[in-house]
Structure 1
Amino acid sequence: MDMTLVHGSHARPLKVALVGECMIEMRGEPGASISQTFGGDTLNTAVYLARLSSRGAVVVDYMTAVGGDAFSVAMRRSWRTEGIADAHVRVIEDALPGLYFIQTDLHGERRFLYWRGEAAARRMFDGPEADAMLAALAEYDYIYLSGISLAILSGEGRERLMQALHLARQGGTRIVFDNNYRPHLWPNPEAARQAYRELLRLTDLALITWEDDAILFGYRDTEALFSAYAQEGIGEVALKRGADSCLIQCPAGRFEVPAQHVARVLDTTAAGDSFSAAYLACRLQGGDPEQAARWGHRLAAQVVQYRGALIPQAAMPSMGTPSFPSVAQV
């Protein structure tokens, strides 16, 4: 997959749209003190992508729907503070954002409680009011979305999004997909499999969590997964395996990149989202898949040492300059 910053004879910023849902994030102890911020898988990725991308080289946009309430206004303001554009955000006045509460155990593993059934983002591509947003997708060099992005939409919205993605890709837009399978968001596994397969046929870069695909598609091992993705014609697959090494399949071959050890994990929220953001940021700025996976491990290792989805700006690790290190084959 060509990730060059140069288009034709003129260098210009790459435009990346991330499609999904931002929610109100709450954490703390029920019945006690609770802190509030914002999060959501694609929003987390958008924030980390913007932080790791050279301004003037990559433009990061977030595409969603919000309400007309004070929380929606505040979340959009927080995106702009992070350098994320919100020109293609639909406002549905009679709707509200979704909300989730994070609970973590002694090992940092998290459990989420959700209130999102009537969230504005579910209706983002419904009706003629969404026509402009859908048409705008063709303006981007890259579109990033996740399995959750697909799951939250109405049937109408998902169908219209798929049609828009087909048209955008025909015009040269590349599609990046993070599988993020959440069974409770789908009516049944087969509905999810059908939607995933349709999107995978359009995907250029797949950022896959092993456990999610093993559950959804029943892969016996990573070899079966890589074979299935190759049959779909996906040129680059990064297989995330939590604290274990990342496996990469790309035109250069298949190889393994070890994870970074973390002595104390506080909260695994956004570990996968941050990996995906760092991987994509590195690839967009000239790094090869091996270095991109190292960026992903480095950021994820930092993120799990903080509570909540988004770590402070001051805690962001130094990544260095993307380069072209040799790829170790396995």
Structure 2
Amino acid sequence: MTPVAKTYDIAVFGEAMLLLIADRPGPLELAEAFTKRIAGAEINVATGLSRLGFNVHWASRLGADSMGRYLVNQMRGEGVNCDHVTMDAAQRTGFQFKGRVDDGSDPAVEYHRKGSAASLMTPDDIDASWLAGARHLHATGVFPAISATALATARRTLQIARDSGSTISFDPNLRPTLWPDEATMRREINALAAGADWVLPGLAEGELLTGHKTPEAIARFYRDQGASLVVVKLGADGAYYDHATLGCGRVPGWPVDKVVDTVGAGDAFAVGVISGLLDGRTVPEAVERACWIGARQVQVLGDSEGLPTRAELQAAGY
């Protein structure tokens, strides 16, 4: 396929789940009430980019149930195009419980997604002409982990995007419990990353995937696979970047007085990098934006509540 005209900004594929957040800290079984929200790595990124004014399209499969209707309504309310989301009356929507913490630690998360509608997606569900019209594709390691057919679908999405001249970002976003074993996860995630232009691993997951312990070595591993840019997330210490022509560097983290909820921080970081680069910012500027958005996200409860609007981004000088 030759490069084609781009008709919208960003495409994402991935599973959306109903998120139920506990009303109190402690074991989930002691919670007596839950707050309803929306969850999913790709969904968080789609939400963040849409809030910044990008034309974002999301493709997925949901059950034709109350949870599925809630998720689509929420995403449409965020301005995300859901025309390629299938509501399947024969399947069910996945959901998850998340604990509440008050000490900055990672909250407990309990998934109920096995056999969900999204896990039954296949490459035949891809509208290739539609996907080829995207300026950019964002992919993560979550969707391909939920089933063998989702993995095949993820491979096909990256191939279509690359063949059509779109740029591609990839966040490994590891979910080891969803893979049959660590070796399979490492092999498949690295193969997907090899098809991306911008790779965004965290330091710990980068070590697990590559065997290297430093951000410099992790970045070099993915640059050697063909990525033009690798940004290694370093948590409170910021990030390290390695670009094919613009060199390497470090960007400090944004100070946070109190960490409320760490879930969604990596997705928020991806929103910063992707939006910055698509806005034409330099790599250091895009990474600085990513650190600021990531810091906002960890200071609120929920997976996407800290993602800024374009007005908030501009007011902060990013």
Using the size of structure 1 for normalisation, the TM-score is 0.86
Deviates most, 93-102 or 17-26: 93-102
Whole-Å separation in 1 of the counterparts to 2:315 and 2:276: 9
**Distance apart, 1:322 and its partner CA:** 11
**Distance apart, 1:87 and its partner CA:** 1.1
**Distance apart, 1:300 and its partner CA:** 1.5
Provide, for residues 147-201 of structure 1, a one-character-per-residue CA deviation record: whole Å limited to 9, x for no partner: 102111x323422441342233122122110010111010011211221222122
Deviates most, 136-145 or 12-21: 12-21
- Amino acid of the structure 2 residue aligned with 1:188: D
The 1:163–1:309 alpha-carbon spacing in structure 2 relative to 1, beyond 3 Å, is: closer
The 1:161–1:32 alpha-carbon spacing in structure 2 relative to 1, beyond 3 Å, is: closer
Tell me the equivalent position of 1:96: 92
Q: Does 1:319 align with 2:313?
A: yes
Provide, for residues 178-226 of structure 1, a one-character-per-residue CA deviation record: whole Å limited to 9, x for no partner: 0101110100112112212221221101111111121233223223212
The 1:116–1:232 alpha-carbon spacing in structure 2 relative to 1, beyond 3 Å, is: same
Whole-Å separation in 1 of the counterparts to 2:158 and 2:130: 10
Whole-Å separation in 2 of the counterparts to 1:241 and 1:313: 19
Q: Does 1:124 align with 2:117?
A: no
Whole-Å separation in 2 of the counterparts to 1:261 and 1:34: 30
Q: Does 1:79 align with 2:67?
A: no
The answer for unaligned runs of 5 or more in structure 2 is 25-29
The 1:312–1:180 alpha-carbon spacing in structure 2 relative to 1, beyond 3 Å, is: closer
CA contact under 8 A between 2:41 and 2:264: conserved in structure 1? yes
- Amino acid of the structure 1 residue aligned with 2:184: A
CA contact under 8 A between 2:297 and 2:307: conserved in structure 1? no
Tell me the equivalent position of 1:32: 32
Q: Does 1:255 align with 2:249?
A: yes
Match of 1:184 among 148, 171, 177: 177
- Amino acid of the structure 2 residue aligned with 1:70: S
* DSSP-derived class of the 1:136 partner: helix
**Distance apart, 1:269 and its partner CA:** 1.4
CA contact under 8 A between 1:90 and 1:124: conserved in structure 2? no
Matches within 5 A, 1:147-296: 147-152=141-146, 154-250=147-243, 251-296=245-290
| Identical counterparts, % of pairs | 25
Aligned pairs, number: 308
Whole-Å separation in 2 of the counterparts to 1:322 and 1:120: 40
**Distance apart, 1:125 and its partner CA:** 1.8
Using the size of structure 2 for normalisation, the TM-score is 0.89
Please tell me the root mean square deviation across aligned C-alpha atoms, in Å: 2.6
**Distance apart, 1:307 and its partner CA:** 0.7
- Amino acid of the structure 1 residue aligned with 2:63: G
Provide, for residues 44-82 of structure 1, a one-character-per-residue CA deviation record: whole Å limited to 9, x for no partner: 1111111123xxxx3101111101011111111111111
